[in-house]
Amino acid sequence: MELNNTITRSEETGETSRPAPTKKVFIKTYGCQMNVYDSQRMTDALTTDGYAQTEAIEDADLILFNTCHIRERAAEKVYSELGRLNKLKAERASNGREMLVGVTGCVAQAEGNEILRRSPVVDLVVGPQTYHRLPQVVKKARAGEKIVETEYAIEDKFEHLPKLEKAAVRSRGVTAFLTVQEGCDKFCTFCVVPYTRGSEVSRPVSQIVAEAERLTEAGVREITLLGQNVNAWHGEGPDGKEWGLAQLLYRLAEVPGLARLRYTTSHPRDMDVDLIAAHRDLASLMPYLHLPVQSGSDRILKAMNRKHTADEYLRLIERIREARLDIAMSGDFIVGFPGETDEDFEATMRLIREVNYAQAFSFKYSQRPGTPGADMKFQVEEHVKDERLQQLQALLMQQQHAFTASRIGMEMNALIEKPGRKPGQIVGRSPWLQPVIIDENVAQIGDIIKVRIMSAGPNSLYAEPA
The verdict on whether residue 450 carries a ligand-binding annotation is no
The residue range among 52-60, 133-141, 360-368, 448-456 that interacts with ligand 5AD, by the rule CB under 6 A, is 360-368
Q: Are 221 and 415 in contact (CB under 8 A)?
A: yes
The residue range among 126-134, 213-221, 314-322, 358-366 that interacts with ligand 5AD, by the rule CB under 6 A, is 358-366
Dihedral sign from CA coordinates of 39, 44, 50, 51: positive
71 binds ligand 5AD (CB under 6 A): yes
Among 131, 243, 263, 363, contact with ligand 5AD (rule: CB under 6 A): 363
The verdict on whether residue 188 carries a ligand-binding annotation is yes
The verdict on whether residue 131 carries a ligand-binding annotation is no
How far is it, in rounded angstroms, from Cα 277 to Cα 91?
60
User: Distance of CA 312 to CAs 133, 166, 271, 279, 297, Å?
Assistant: 43, 44, 12, 19, 12
The verdict on whether residue 122 carries a ligand-binding annotation is no
The nearest distance, CB 68 to ligand SF4, in angstroms, is 12
How far is it, in rounded angstroms, from Cα 381 to Cα 376?
13
Q: Which of residues 263-282 bind ligand SF4 (CB under 6 A)?
A: 267
Strands 124-126 and 100-105: parallel
Among 47, 229, 264, 413, contact with ligand SF4 (rule: CB under 6 A): 229
The residue range among 314-322, 348-356, 361-369, 415-423 that interacts with ligand 5AD, by the rule CB under 6 A, is 361-369
- Tell me the H-state helices in 59-119: 72-83, 85-95, 106-111, 113-118
- What count of other Cβ atoms lies within 10 Å of the Cβ of residue 308? 16
135 binds ligand 5AD (CB under 6 A): no
Q: Are 107 and 67 in contact (CB under 8 A)?
A: yes
The residue range among 106-114, 153-161, 365-373, 415-423 that interacts with ligand 5AD, by the rule CB under 6 A, is 365-373
The verdict on whether residue 259 carries a ligand-binding annotation is no
How far is it, in rounded angstroms, from Cα 223 to Cα 41?
16
334 binds ligand 5AD (CB under 6 A): yes
| Binding partner at 40 among ligand 5AD, ligand SF4, none, C-beta below 5 to 8 Å by kind | none
- What count of other Cβ atoms lies within 10 Å of the Cβ of residue 440? 11
Size of the site for ligand SF4 (CB under 6 A): 10
The verdict on whether residue 106 carries a ligand-binding annotation is yes
- 280 membership: H or E segment, kind and range: helix 273-281
Among 194, 287, 331, 428, contact with ligand SF4 (rule: CB under 6 A): 194
Known binding-site residues equal 32, 68, 106, 184, 188, 191
